[in-house]
Amino acid sequence: MKKLLFLFSTLLFIGCIVEVTTIYTLNVSSNPTEGGIINPLSGEYEEGAEVTINVSPNPNYEFDKWSGDWGGSEYPLTLIMDGDKTLVGNFNFLDSDSDGVGDDDDLDNNTRSGVPVDENGVMLNPIYLDEENGVTIKCREWAIIGDTGIVNDATYTLVDLETLKEMIQDGGDVSKVCTSKIDNLSELFYQNNSFNQDISSWDVENVTDMNYMFYQAKSFNQNLSFWNVKNVFNMGAMFSGAESFNQNISSWNVDNVTRCFAFCFGTEQWTSPKPSFKNDCDEINAGGTEVLARGLCSYYD
């Protein structure tokens, strides 16, 4: 009887032994989170289980590599769960021209570095109309020579002085240029007998020298009243011999002009109001050019 009881107890003990299965945890994240979809992102798996992690990059991104408890760049990725695992799927933002707009959405993947762009990755218009007077064409600080822009259905080109002189010499159209980057216009139309284009939209705010600019430009007679000449100091003989010019430029701010001898010599036809020079100097109607070197200007009556 005792032997039978012992055997029964042993069988009962053996029957109560339960095999324990080890469970490991998987955690996966995306870097950056908008880079793509990773599946699964988490889960609990038995030891030795195979887990396949799928990756689907979002538009404008590409999968780069894994980090954390796994290296490499393969995907889909199959892992053997032999321990808890934490992985990071790293994505690269695709932006060929570094303008902040992804390649899949960028309509211009060759935008030069540093310029502002719109939501389509296209450079903003480098040329704009001065809203204050509605006439002057200006260029953005970041614009470079050769940039073009459309204002009121007309295409304007940013030019430097050398380009502008070549255009004038070749008889080109200089009514659709932006001159914001030019600081010296002296002798630009010196003895040019044929030029008479509309240059009212020129931006001359950065110009300091207009010496002899229209000297003997015998055909020129266009509106220049919107020019901002506040930084010009030299207007010596600027319109001397410009025998057709007769425009009202009394609105010009000539407070900084210190050289204007013979400003309008030989322009008897010019009956429209002229600038009011405020510095003490010689007669602006005087002939000759000797006094130009003195740095003098006169008040016009």
CA distance 83 to 48: 9
Q: What is the pLDDT of residues 215-236, one digit of tens each?
A: 999 999 999 999 999 999 999 9
pLDDT value of position 261: 87
DSSP 88-152: EEEEEE--TT-SSS-TTT-S-TTPPTT--B-TTSPBPPSEEE-TTTS--EEE-TT--TT-EEEET
Q: Are strands 77-80 and 137-139 parallel, antiparallel or unpaired?
A: unpaired
pLDDT value of position 20: 81
Residue 161 phi, psi dihedral angles, 5° rounding: -65, -40
Q: Tokens at residue 280, please? A: 């003490």
Q: Contact at 8 Å (CB) between 121 and 106?
A: yes
What is the average pLDDT score of the chain?
Answer: 89
The segments of the chain whose pLDDT lies below 50 read 1-8, 11-14, 288-301
Predicted TM-score (pTM) of this structure:
0.76
pLDDT value of position 287: 58
Asked if CATH classification 2.60.40 holds for the domain at 22-93, the reply, yes or no, is yes
pLDDT value of position 18: 60
Q: What is the pLDDT of residues 79-90, one digit of tens each?
A: 999 999 999 999
pLDDT value of position 195: 98
45 strand-pairing partners: 24
Q: Are strands 148-151 and 154-158 parallel, antiparallel or unpaired?
A: antiparallel
Q: What is the pLDDT of residues 35-56, one digit of tens each?
A: 999 999 999 999 999 999 999 9
